Amino acid sequence: MIIEQQKVVALTYILKENDEEGKLIETVNSEKPIEFIFGTGNLLAAFENHINGLKSRDSFEFILPKEEAYGIYKEELNVALKKEMFAQNGVINEEMLTIGNQIPMQDSQGNRLNGRITEVSDDQVTMDFNHPLAGQNLYFSGQVVMIREATNEELNPPADQGCGCGSGDGSCSTDDDHEHQHKDDGCSC
């Protein structure tokens, strides 16, 4: 069986900045491989293009240029917001406003965005809305662990069952071994 549309795929990989000598970003090992339905938009399109057609136990190694990964870093996505915007019931939780914290926000059209706090002053909070990996070329090396047919339930999950990324619990939450974020109506790794 090969990796193609609507197949369930499990992978292990090492992700580094730029090339195989770069700084380690993430390791997904065989104890907890990433599992996803290929071709459903849950992963970067360029990533899927590189693994399309591989078989179980095939190895892969490639670099995604920043333009094909999470884009270039955009300075204009660093935004200073009034601190009062973070008040809940008139009270600002100062512990939440810590440099490095990621906070879900909404833009004026109601789109959900994740922002990372980069600066806090008496009356402002500066947030960076770039993806944490924006501006970086990404080096992947790994192996295909398993490929199988997706079930009808996996291809058509009830609304409360998640986004098809393999989390299985409907929460799509980030854990220590696998990071992903929602992208439009799906999630992406």
**Residue 119, domain CATH:** 2.40.10.330
Predicted pLDDT of residue 157: 85
Predicted pLDDT of residue 158: 82
**Residue (of 147, 139, 140) closest to 38 by Cα position:** 147
Which spans in the chain are helix H? 45-51, 152-155
Predicted pLDDT of residue 108: 86
The segments of the chain whose pLDDT lies below 50 read 164-189
Predicted pLDDT of residue 34: 96
Q: Is 123 found in the same domain as 140?
A: no
**Residue (of 26, 57, 49) closest to 189 by Cα position:** 26
162 belongs to a structural domain: yes
161 belongs to a structural domain: yes
**Residue (of 111, 129, 141) closest to 70 by Cα position:** 129
Q: Is 48 found in the same domain as 24?
A: yes
Final residue in a domain of this structure, among 128, 149, 170: 128
Q: Is 21 found in the same domain as 47?
A: yes
Write out the residue range of the structural domain in which residue 62 sits: 7-70+136-188
